């Protein structure tokens, strides 16, 4: 997580306005383990920023992604989720409740080589998504 002061500097350096709402969106993402989507972010921030629009949240996550400060996760739900942990790591999502959690980096060197051999691509980045049923939902099922 970067500080608000550093984030403000990065935004300014790239020609973006620094607003309390933009700083708050990043702060919520940096402190969140739930990988929220834009609607979740909006609902969480609205009590503190009642005049903030959904468009502000959406535009902010696009800016943060463009600057490389967050990752956009496509978990197949129809809306993207966001993650402020930008180092390489994987995710697991519960098929019942939708919770998304981090999985540490996985060793995939052989997979990189196989993909490169089959496609001719030089693999620069990868994301793995795993799907299953979390422990809480398993308990509810039993």
Binding site for Zn(2+), by residue number, is 94, 97, 134, 137
Q: How does strand 90-94 pair with strand 100-103? A: antiparallel
SS3 annotation, the chain: CCCHHHHHHHHHHCCCCCCHHHHHHHHHHHHCCCCCEHHHHHHHHCCCCCCCCHHHHHHHHHHHHHCCCCEEECCCCCCCEEECCCCCCEEEEECCCCCEEEECCCCCHHHHHHHHHHHCCCCCCCCCEEEECCHHHHHHHC
| Positions at the binding site | 94, 97, 134, 137
């Amino acid at each position: 997580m970067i500080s608000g002061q550093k984030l403000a500097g990065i935004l300014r350096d790239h020609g973006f306005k620094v607003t309390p709402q933009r700083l708050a969106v990043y702060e919520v993402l940096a402190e969140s383990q739930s990988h929220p989507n834009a609607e979740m972010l909006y609902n969480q921030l609205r009590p503190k920023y009642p005049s903030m629009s959904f468009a502000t949240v959406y535009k902010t996550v696009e800016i943060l992604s463009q600057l490389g400060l967050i990752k956009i996760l496509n978990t197949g739900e129809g809306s993207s989720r966001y993650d402020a942990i930008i180092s390489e790591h994987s995710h697991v999502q519960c098929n019942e409740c939708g919770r998304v959690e981090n999985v540490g980096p996985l060793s995939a060197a052989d997979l990189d080589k196989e993909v490169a051999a089959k496609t001719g691509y030089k693999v620069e980045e990868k994301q793995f998504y795993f799907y299953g049923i979390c422990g809480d939902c398993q308990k509810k099922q039993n």
